[in-house]
Amino acid sequence: MSRSCIACCVLLICGVLAFPGFALGTESESETNSEKDLSPTQRTWKTVEEMSAEELAQVQLEGDTPRHAQVPYLPAEAYPFVPPYTAEEMGYRAMEFTPRTRWSSVVANSWASIAPQGVLLNPGTSITFVNYASETSGVGKVLSAAPGAEVYRSLSQAIAPPAAEGGQWLAIRYRTDKEHITKEERFAYSSSIRRVRHQASPRRQSNFPNMALTPDDAWGRAAWEFSWRLLGTDILYQTVRFPNTRPTMILRNGETGQSRTVQTASIKLMGEVFPHYTLDGGVECYVVEAVARPEWLPDYYMPRLLYWLEKSSFFPLRGEQYGQDGELDHVEVRLAEFFNPGRKELGYGTLLLSHWDLRTDIMSYMVNDSHKIMDWKPEEATVFFSPDFMRRQWHLDTSIKTQAAVSHPDEYFMRPAVEADKFPHERPINLPPDMAARIQAQNAAGRLVFDGA
């Protein structure tokens, strides 16, 4: 593969998981003692029928709610809504938290995938600059924008691996509906050929090469394309699982420029300043179902999704995708950080996310390190976020750095916990014997155990 092809593959990834057979057993069979020590021994989840009167007062269970007068696929209530929340309104609130922030910023992205054999796939690092016009920052303004209108631009500049260094990628994001279906327009620059190329938009349902995620996973989904239902509540104590071979990692504060070494076991699900942890350190979540609406997404590849949404912000800490056969195909877990206090509960962003594709047992991660809020001047935005700018090979902010990447397969994140005991009537989980064996081996070892090891 040529240097330019490698660079394009890496930048494609930065612009951004149904088996019949063995049924996963009980918690004692599928989870290690170290997993269970993170949460209390009592049951943490409740169906809607088991929710208390106080909890039910915060939600609205009726499915038929008033619609927007001009845009009938939107709720009538003005965003960001007030209690009691419908499941649909929770889905719209969750749209705030795509892997890219909903405000202008710069961040150092590191990513990689891993195969069951222990091979790191497509590792890389980039510096990504995002610019929102003031009238499109935040979901509320996106909802009021005309379909087809531009939402934001992001410029990624690759710094690793060496073969990709100097490559750049510009993405232009659009508001969509049934007629305006293009989510992103893309331009790539390769330093080896010194040319900007307009890229065909990738299919939203097709996995990125050697990755456990699709463009829909990377860019986020539109809530209006799904029907929503509240399943109940749950308390999460763990999402992203660090191996015992990586007791520390280095994170950098982009606002202050300070780096710090953190104990991975001490990293909290919603960051250090989150005010709503339970007394034992858990995070209370609504658990909602999203089913693809056939008039919007006919024959959608993942027709049923489940989300664990933190109750105050609706940040999605866990997501599950079920294929057309109804089986669990994909799990995504996240860690959040309070990047933008000025936006209050909407100022949380994704610090780290991990995707697991159960069909292939490939996992992918991304870290958003060194986050910094930006306020681009209009003349800067016009120059920097254009295809022509990439030819100059200027790096906008060389101070943004990261040391958070996984450098060796032994330090890669573990598969997310399956937690098959939760909502058993809503979550059909059937895994083949070889997959179950890998899960049991990793849980016993406290790290990934690779095929042939």
In the chain, % of residues over pLDDT 70: 90
More confident residue, 398 or 125: 125
CA–CA gap between residue 194 and residue 344 (Å, rounded): 43
Structure confidence at residue 252 as a pLDDT band (50, 70, 90) = very high
| Omega within 30 of 0 (cis) for the link into 84 | yes
pLDDT at 20 over 60: no
pLDDT at 328 over 50: yes
**Domains, the chain, ranges and CATH?**
3-16+18-445 (2.50.20.10)
pLDDT of residue 177: 95
Residues in contact with 37: Cβ distance below 8 Å, sequence separation at least 6, in sequence order? none
**Average pLDDT, integer, range 22-26:** 31
pLDDT at 27 over 70: no
Tens of pLDDT, residues 424-438: 999 989 998 999 999
Structure confidence at residue 286 as a pLDDT band (50, 70, 90) = very high
pLDDT of residue 117: 93
Tens of pLDDT, residues 91-102: 999 999 999 899
Residue with tokens 């057993």: 25
pLDDT of residue 452: 60
Structure confidence at residue 5 as a pLDDT band (50, 70, 90) = very low
The per-residue pLDDT of the chain, averaged, comes to 89
pLDDT at 166 over 90: no
pLDDT at 190 over 50: yes
pLDDT at 230 over 60: yes
Answer whether 315's CB lies under 8 Å from 248's CB.
no
* 193-218 residues labelled b (16+ CB within 10 A) or e (exposed): eeebeebeebebeebbebbbbbbbbb
Residues in contact with 285: Cβ distance below 8 Å, sequence separation at least 6, in sequence order? 233, 234, 235, 236, 308, 309, 310, 311, 317, 318
pLDDT of residue 200: 83
pLDDT of residue 359: 93
**Average pLDDT, integer, range 321-334:** 96
Type of residue at 130: V
